[in-house]
Amino acid sequence: MCGRFVQLTPPAALAALFGVDPTLSPLPNVPPRYNAAPTQDLMVVRRNPETGRRHLDLLRWGLVPSFAKGPSGGASLINARSETVAEKPTFRAAWRVRRRCIVPADAFYEWKAVDKRRQPFVISRADGSPMSFAGLWDGWKDPGTGQWLRTFTILTCPATERLRPLHERMPVILPDTDISAWLEGEEGAALMRSYPGEALRLTPVSTDVNSVRNEGPNLVEPLAPDEAAAAAALLAPSAV
């Protein structure tokens, strides 16, 4: 799954990377997020249904479907399984009308359980470029106020062998060549596949990231060499 990630690349750089015209709507004014968590408003690239163009918008993490009676259930819908997203009642309406989006992420976190503690790892692209998580978005209209709440979920797929010691699922990470097809193409199912494990870097980091209240660059800093070696050993086949 994906329950925490990093969003550091500035909005202007993301707009340039994903072909967003900043003159269509103001870019979000947001600080770097070293510990992005569910229910927070985060940057998402989506095809705006009114303009037909790509926008970089702030959406809340945790999908609230358009037919929901209220917004409270979104916190539990932060991920959607790629294998069943087209059939699950919660997601299928948004899937059928192609409300697909991209969630830019500089990295994401997963944890390895060891006895009574959990060792976090930050996972990033080996080349240092931002990742493009495949996402799905929806809009819910408050019947009392008429205000729209736009939310998103991150699609997941089976983890590669390299990431499986941490979790059996991983976010769907789109290669750069699939971005246009995901946002504007007719068919999205074939694009939801596991990203090569060798193209990702796994770095053990401080347990400070365990609390959603903590923020800052120290969360992604590697551990001291001796601590890092001990943490990396937890991923060895004999330790799994």
Give the integer Cα–Cα distance in Å for 136 and 94. Answer: 7
Task: Report the C-alpha gap between 132 and 15 in whole angstroms.
Answer: 13
Rg over alpha carbons for the chain, rounded to the nearest Å, is 18
221 given a catalytic annotation: no
Catalytic annotation present for 110: yes
- Of 50, 110, 184, 215, which is the active-site residue? 110
List the catalytic residues.
2, 110
